Amino acid sequence: MNTILIIANLLVLFTFIIHTFGGDKNLKAIEPEQDSPKRLRIFWTMSRGAFHIVSIDFLFATIGLALINFTDYFQESKLLLNLLALYFLGYGIAFLLTLIISKKFSNIYFKMWQWLLMLVIAGLIYWGNS
């Protein structure tokens, strides 16, 4: 059993739970009113849908890591772990770039720390696979 990969697995599981339920609660708080312009409701709904596509990514990553950690389901687990590490690295870089190109507010990189979480998960998976 690889403790580093289990820690990564737990972080991804917690990320899935918090992202899915906490994130949706935050999204509901900014939902446009029923009488808001249709364009705003469409953009909000599209954003919410894209947000939950990422939730499913976290769910599948959790399941994949669990299968790698606790079963012999995959024959090429090293390759899959490398892909997952790159996947989370990509998420981290994309989120960080989004912050870089967005309008700034105080402590943006610490208040919006998800980029760092993704890089930590990527690092743990890479380290655990080494």
Q: What is the 3-state secondary structure (H, E, C) of 37-100?
A: CHHHHHHHHHHHHHHHHHHHHHHHHHHHHHHHHHCCCCCCHHHHHHHHHHHHHHHHHHHHHHHH
Number of domains in the chain: 1
pTM of this structure: 0.92
Q: Write the pLDDT tens digit of every residue in 27-59.
A: 999 999 999 999 999 999 999 999 999 999 999
Percent of the chain with pLDDT over 70: 100
Contact 94, 84 (CB under 8 A): no
The pLDDT value recorded for residue 18 is 97
Contact 126, 6 (CB under 8 A): no
Domain residues for 27? 3-129
Q: Write the pLDDT tens digit of every residue in 57-70.
A: 999 999 999 999 99
The pLDDT value recorded for residue 1 is 77
